[in-house]
Every structure is written in C-alpha cells, then in structure tokens.
Amino acid sequence: MLNIIHETKDIIIVNKPAGQLSQGAKGFDLDDSVKRAKDYISGLNIDPFINDDNNLFEQYLLASANKKTVLTDLLQLKEEKDIENYNNAITVKKDQIEDLKREDIELKEKIESLKNQIIEIKNSVSTSTEKIEQLKLDRANKNEELNKIEKDITDQFNLLEDLKGNLVKIDVKKTKLEQDIDLVVNNLWEEYELTPNNATDYKKVENVQTTQKEVNDIRAEIKDLGSINVDSIEEYKKTKERYDFMCEQRLDLENTISKLRKMISEITDTMKKQFVEKFKLINKNFNEVFVELFGGGKAELILEDEDNVLECGIDIKAQPTGKKLQNMMLLSGGEKAFTAIALLFAILKINPAPFCILDEIEAALDDVNVYRYAEYLKKFCSDTQFLVITHRKGTMEAADTVYGITMEENGISKLLSMKLK
C-alpha cells in the first residue's frame, strides 16, 4: 500500500515487496506509464500538493532508483481502488441479495397464501360440484314431476272435454224434457183443471184406459148437472179460510185446555198432599183439645172417601167422658158446641190468626164449660187478638176489656167500655 504523508515538504514512500507486483507491470513504457500514473493520480485527488507541484513529483520519479517499484506502487494503488469499488459493488450486491431474499420470502408467503386460496377454491369447487349434482338431481325429479303433472292436466283436460260433450247432450235432453213437462202441465190443466201440486195428491193410475173411461163418465155426469155456480168457488174459499181459522182456534183451545188440566192436576195433587198433612195435624190437635176441654174422652175426624179427600165429606166422631163414641150429630146441643169449639182451637193451633171474631159460640154451654172455654181461650191470646161477642158472665170475666152496647133511647145505641186488666 502506498502511503503519502505531507510533512515539511518531504515525501515518504512505503513500498510493497516486489513479489506482489502485478503481471501487467512487466515490459512497459516508462514515460507512458508516468503519464498515465499522473492522470490516474490526478483523477484520484489523493492530496492537493501532488497536483499543484508536478515538478516535484517528476523529480521524485527521476530520482527514484527503482522505477519498477514506483510503477508497482501505482498499480497496487489502482488495484486497491478497484478492490474498494468491488467491495462497494459487493456490498450493493449483498444488499440486493438481501432484498431479493426478502422478496423471495414474501413471494413464498404469497405462494403459500395462493396455495391455501387454491385449496379453498378447490374445496369450494368440490362443494359447488356436489350442489350442482344435487341441483341436477332435483331438476330431474322436478322435470319428472312436471311431466307427471302435465300428463294429469292433459288427462283432466280430456275428461273436461268429455264432460262438456256430455253436458251438451244433457242440456238437449233437459230442454226436451222441459218441453214435455210443459205439454203435460198444459194438458193436465186443460183436461182436468189440475196443477202439478194438486195432481200429486191423487193415486198413480195403473190402468190408463179404465181410468180414462171413468173420467169420461164423470164428465158426462157433470155435464148432466147443468150450469155451475161460479161464485161458489169464492164462497168455498171464504168458508175454507174460516174453517181453517176455526180449526186453528180449536187447536189453540185444546192446547190451552190441556195445559190448564195439567196445571189443575198438579195443583190438585199439591192440595191433596197439603190437605192430608194438615188434616192429620188437625185431627191430632182436635183430640188433644177435646180431652182438655171435656176433661177426658176422645174425638177424631174421619174422611168419608180417602181417595177423594178434596170433595168428600168429614165425619166428626166424639166420645165425651162416660159416653160411647158416636157421631157429632147425636150429641146434645152443649156437647155439639163444645166439640165445635175444640175443632176451632185445633185449627188455630196449626195456623194462628192475628185477629179472630167469636159470636156467642159458647151460648149453649153451661157455666162450668163456659169457664173452661174462657180459660182455654187465654192460651191463644199471645198470638191472636180475639173479639168475642157474648152475654155470658164467665167469658166477660176472662176478657181484658169489655165493651157494652145499650139502647137508652129507641133507635140510638150507646157504647160503654171498661178495662178489667
């Protein structure tokens, strides 16, 4: 390596060994080499003093004892410069190689990504292929169904055409039948004066000829009867309307009577049931009251017809103390009255009345029985208010208030009252 050091205008040259001289240094022209060396050194711009002092440089070269060494150094300098350039070029190439490696890595990554995309596309294509095959199969099935439907439609259309043809035939037959029916209806009215509805009420004719003969005979008889009263038809209609109205009224009355009879029957059954129940209670109370009033004996009520309790009579059997049981009509007047009073109290025990008027019912009783009657009457005073008309002393003594009616003057009555309790 050539080192040029500028110190106090002296030049020190360090040479490489001669053995490192380039092959190009053998057999050269010195002047030409010096010129080229100067141009080269000038181009390198190694140190300013070299370009500024060419004479000094030339003197150096001339003074050099070994021109071959100077040339070797110059060539070596050129080689080092080339090496540096090569190194720079290598560095650039290395950088380019690194860039290419990075691009190669990126390309590999892109290739892998593309491979993955290709795999996905293949999978998608495979799936799409399966779907296409399925769609083809579905299409074939749909086409088969469509063909079947088209065949059914064709069959139905043919059937419809057949039905239309039959319908036309039926319409023709219907028209002919309607004409025949109109002809028959007209003949029915002209020959027999009957409508189709009225004609249905008659029996079906088995022998037409015999029936026709009978009809002709009847017509002849009608003709022999003479002229017909046309107004009788209107009279018949009115009479028929009145008859129908009366029949409806009769039917309504019969329904009403039936309902009333049913209601009466239900009420009668209820009355019988209630009567029998109350009759038994009254009969029981009658015997109890009779025993209390008479001080013994017995009495009872007997139905003459137990199957018809609402219409039959009632026998009163009484047996005062010391007498035999007999009909009430065989008793004395006082016994009859006392028995009737016993029956009255028996009824009041079942259904007490809020107000009761007694008009001298004890008139036929003796004094002892009057007191018994008055005392027994007090038992009902809590539920019933009694207004008693009497002239018996025992009855008046049992009363709470006494009202007297006198007539001091003719035609003028006077009321007197007195509270006893």
Per-residue model confidence (pLDDT) at position 399: 86
- For 304-365, give the DSSP string: S-GGGTTTS-EEEEEE-TTS--EEGGGS-HHHHHHHHHHHHHHHHHHS--SEEEEESTTTTS
> Does the pLDDT value for residue 101 go beyond 60?
yes
User: Which tokens go with 348?
Assistant: 């009041």
pTM: 0.39
DSSP state of 412: E
Pick from 5-9, 69-73, 75-79 the range whose average pLDDT is largest.
75-79
Burial label for 341, CB within 10 Å (0-12, 13-18, 19+), is buried
User: Scanning the structure block, which residue is given the tokens 């013994």?
Assistant: 296
Domains of the chain: 263-351 (3.40.50.300), 353-421 (3.40.50.300)
Query: Mind listing the pLDDT tens digit for each residue in 139-177?
Result: 888 888 888 888 888 888 888 888 888 888 888 888 888
- For 138-195, give the DSSP string: HHHHHHHHHHHHHHHHHHHHHHHHHHHHHHHHHHHHHHHHHHHHHHHHHHHHHHH---
d(CA 421, CA 403): 13
More confident residue, 191 or 42: 191
Give the β-pairing of 355-359 and 326-327.
Answer: unpaired
| 15 confidence band (pLDDT: 50, 70, 90) | very low
Asked if 324 and 337 touch (Cβ cutoff 8 Å), the reply is no
* b (16+ CB within 10 A) / e for 228-260: eeeeeeeeeeeeeeeeeeeeeeeeeeeeeeeee
Per-residue model confidence (pLDDT) at position 13: 38
Q: How many CB atoms lie within 10 A of CB 363?
A: 15
More confident residue, 44 or 373: 373
Query: Mind listing the pLDDT tens digit for each residue in 76-93?
Result: 777 777 788 888 888 888
d(CA 319, CA 326): 6
User: Which tokens go with 237?
Assistant: 């209609």
DSSP state of 18: G
